[in-house]
Amino acid sequence: MIGGASLCIANTAVAQSGNNETASMSAEDDSGIVVIGLRQAYRGDFDRLEIPQADQIIDQELLQEAGVVDLSGALDLSASVARQNNFGGLWNSFSVRGFSGDINLPSGFLVNGFNAGRGFGGPRDLAGIEAVEVLKGPRSALYGRGEPGGTVNLVTKRPGFETVGEVEFQAGSFDFYRGDVDLQTTIGDNVGVRLVGFYEDAGSFRKTVDTERYGFYPSITAKLGENTVATYELEYTEQKIPFDRGVIFSEEFGFSPRRTFTGEPGDGPIETEVFGHQFEVQHDFSDNWSLLAGLGYRETSLTGNASENNFDGRQLYLIDGQTITRFFRFRDFDSEYFVARAELAGEFNTGSLRHRLQFGMDYDRFDNNLFILRFRPPFFAAGTDPSTLDPATYLFLDANNPVYGQFPQPVPGPNTDREERLKGFGIYFQDQIDITDRLQIRIGGRFDDFEQDLTNLRATPATTTTSKDKRFSPQVGAVYRADDGLSIYASYGEGFRQQTGSDFQGNQFDPNITKSAEFGLKADLGAYFNGVQGNVTLTAFQVDQSNILVNDDRPEAVDAGFFSFPAGKARSRGIEFDANASFDSGLSIWLSYAYTDAEFTNSNPDADFGAIIEEGDQLINSPEHQISLLVSQSFTVAQAPVQLGGGLLHVGERNGWTGFDFTLPDYTTVRLFGEVELVEGFSLRLDVDNVFNETFYTNSFADVWVQPGAPTTARVSARFKF
């Protein structure tokens, strides 16, 4: 279905190609096998050089070469994507082209075109994922309410109508153990089944931090007729992860030790669970017209206790460089997400003009429930002697010699009890028109009508506010094919993202608005060089964002308490260069570079702490320079296939705390890997990450919540295919 997968059913499968072309419907080979292809779901069927936007496809082969098992590791391959505050390791958070969504919620991503990233299911594992697509620029004209800088879409593994299987076992540093299984078979001639699952039990370089994770992702595809295909997928994942706010930074004492876990093992892990379903049907009316319809439903939950690093005024480490002080919270979050989509796509001619049209509509509902209890000690005065403070009240922990379980668990009091329901209905269209053999234009737009109900259960009695809004998101673009291997493109689009919460009067915040323009070149290397396959994209872009939440310092709002207000503005400008090439000699190269200048364009007090954001301040966790490189060479030794390779990730300096003078240092990590197929179907692999044991920090929310990267780690994998 969705997001660019090419799924073929019968007794064979066609893999997703680098240019996203799909298999044809009802193609028959010499053996008489009928192949049914699902088109580019909710994106249209276009050659890569015809798309007036910069996209990156991180396919299964590249994911395996990089040795990544989670979404954050996969997104490190795109220099346009930067890590953001990951909520103590409990969810995925990222920015695209400098912009992220709500810092207090997981970043929204798509699964097969559905907004399945919403909710609290824990960090996304790559088990069951065929490809990760980084779709840059606002995509609201097709997908609706999305993240401002771009969209990440996960393409899932689906039945390929063949009986094959793969089992993999991994073991590595810090007691890392993992098993994956991927089995496919058929039932009769018209039904394919695929069973994917994983189990992981892992320690960490952070003392006492252990995680347990497992997931099961079965899917079934059925041919219901000559021109109709239906697919059902189930997603179940459960994770137990200690809440880890990372390390603390002091200008006088530096970072606290990266191996010291600053929480409490006795708090137990945070438990997350996700249970989701996707169902879709594609029906082809003819060679040129088809209907794609789908339903998605997903439940998530997050529950558990956590002791967390306190801030200045309650944090002794900033004074003595040794004593970490903490507060305590209990969380119980859950969400439900439902979406229905239907899209008609096809092509027709008006005179000499060829039109490729998409017309669709969707409905979605997101229920978000947050319950938090909190214990937080009082401020202490500047110059306070630490020996005068009660260690049990401030939950003391020695940063250099931690002793856990010294104090009884605090009794938390009320903090947050909120229910929110977001509903939306959208209608969209897109028409790409061939003006000449070389020039194409794209026009499109989307109308959204959405509603928010926000209930404050802490109020007596509980209060509910309801607000509504309507938005139109246009898009235009043009592509000029200079020759068969080169295209020049330009595009403009607008998007929006609903914002959770309300102002001091109980009104829903206006949506976050994004306006984006880009200009670029795309080249197909195979058109110019013999023995080479691959693509190159060079892009210049500008993204403007408004209605960013800031602190409401208007007198009437200050009198009511500490509230937010959608008045912030920011801009991101940059240049991106992405290239991937495979040579007949066995050499493979992936290179992604981004220069991103992302800054605030007006001054306001920060929404979280009230610190003044000056015009020109950099957006949090957004480096100016980021490079990702992966190189491998395949060859044979004594008739055994061998692959050796390595990678590099460079991330520049970043602002580490909005409104404050705190900067995360730049870092460069290097990784090496090697794989040998000892006998047909059985291979061994070695991965070594952070070869030179670089001390680095991947993201932060503030100077007391900084996520450290892992030291040198190694993993050995054994994979058996049959």
Task: Return d(Cα 77, Cα 191) in angstroms, integer.
Answer: 35
Helix/strand/coil percent split, the chain, to 5 = 5, 55, 35
- The answer to whether 708 and 696 are in contact (CB under 8 A) is yes
Query: What end-to-end distance do the CA atoms of the chain give, in Å?
Result: 27
- The answer to whether 409 and 305 are in contact (CB under 8 A) is yes
What's residue 128's pLDDT?
Answer: 94
Amino acid letter for position 437:
D
- The answer to whether 659 and 604 are in contact (CB under 8 A) is no
The β-bridge partners of 430 are 358, 444
What's residue 148's pLDDT?
Answer: 76
Q: Which among 654, 650, 649 has a CA at the least distance from the CA of 706? A: 654
- The answer to whether 599 and 623 are in contact (CB under 8 A) is no
DSSP string, 93-111: -EEETTB-S-TTSPPP-EE
What's residue 497's pLDDT?
Answer: 80
- The answer to whether 473 and 461 are in contact (CB under 8 A) is no
How many other C-beta atoms can be found within 10 angstroms of the C-beta atom of residue 342?
A: 16
* Those residues with Cβ within 8 angstroms of residue 12's Cβ, 6 or more apart along the chain or in another chain: 29, 33, 35, 160, 161, 162
* Structural tokens at position 569: 């503005």
**Residue 224: HSE in the Cβ half-sphere, 13 Å Cα cutoff:** 11
pLDDT digits (tens, 9 = 90+) for 233-289: 999 999 999 999 999 999 999 999 999 999 999 999 999 999 999 999 999 999 999
* Structural tokens at position 97: 């082209």
Q: What is the mean pLDDT of each run of 10 residues along the chain (722 residues)?
A: 31 34 35 42 79 94 95 97 93 93 81 83 94 86 74 93 96 98 95 98 96 97 95 97 96 96 97 96 94 95 97 95 97 96 95 95 93 96 89 97 96 95 93 96 94 90 87 94 96 85 79 92 96 97 94 85 90 98 97 98 92 95 98 96 97 96 97 97 98 97 97 98 95
pTM of the model: 0.92
* Structural tokens at position 449: 């009508």
Task: Return d(Cα 532, Cα 38) in angstroms, integer.
Answer: 28
Instruction: Give strand ranges (E) for 285-352.
Output: 289-309, 323-324, 326-350
Q: Which among 343, 280, 293 has a CA at the least distance from the CA of 44? A: 343
Task: Return d(Cα 16, Cα 131) in angstroms, integer.
Answer: 9
What's residue 2's pLDDT?
Answer: 34
Specify the pairing of strand 413-434 against strand 353-375.
antiparallel
Please state the φ and ψ torsions of residue 331, each to the nearest 5 degrees. Answer: -125, 140
Amino acid letter for position 12:
T
* Those residues with Cβ within 8 angstroms of residue 38's Cβ, 6 or more apart along the chain or in another chain: 1, 5, 6, 7, 8, 22, 229, 231, 282, 292
C-alpha torsion sign, points 23, 28, 31, 35: positive
- The answer to whether 328 and 308 are in contact (CB under 8 A) is yes
Task: Return d(Cα 158, Cα 128) in angstroms, integer.
Answer: 8
Task: Return d(Cα 413, Cα 394) in angstroms, integer.
Answer: 16
How many other C-beta atoms can be found within 10 angstroms of the C-beta atom of residue 683?
A: 20
What's residue 18's pLDDT?
Answer: 38
What's residue 119's pLDDT?
Answer: 87
